[in-house]
Amino acid sequence: AQSVTQLGSHVSVSEGALVLLRCNYSSSVPPYLFWYVQYPNQGLQLLLKYTSAATLVKGINGFEAEFKKSETSFHLTKPSAHMSDAAEYFCAVSEIFGNEKLTFGTGTRLTIIP
């Protein structure tokens, strides 16, 4: 079975500082990996996805993530945090075959300190 672990349920960074949100996955085969963002009282919006092409994936709003097979990690980064980045972030893994359902991590709430 696939699973995702997000270290740190809450992360606070200063405006302009580096954002690093951690995600580790467990899968018997290389999976597809996703980062979604959820703003208050809204649904999930896709930030970026890894589909076994380039290991460094660039997404919307200046975010990027790097797939590291040796570390089974897919950490999300942004060089300079903006106040609008405050939200909850979810890492997810899906099966390559079958119904492609998403298995989510528990989420990380990102707070930006002015």
Partner 1 sequence: GAGVSQSPSNKVTEKGKDVELRCDPISGHTALYWYRQSLGQGLEFLIYFQGNSAPDKSGLPSDRFSAERTGGSVSTLTIQRTQQEDSAVYLCASSLKGGPRDGRGTQYFGPGTRLLVL
Rule CB under 8 A: which residues touch partner 1? 32, 34, 36, 41-46, 49, 51-53, 90, 92, 94, 96, 99-107
Least Cβ distance, residue 51 to partner 1 (angstroms): 4
In whole angstroms, give the CA distance from residue 15 to residue 13.
7
Least Cβ distance, residue 56 to partner 1 (angstroms): 16
Antiparallel, parallel or unpaired: β 73-78 and 64-68: antiparallel
Least Cβ distance, residue 30 to partner 1 (angstroms): 12
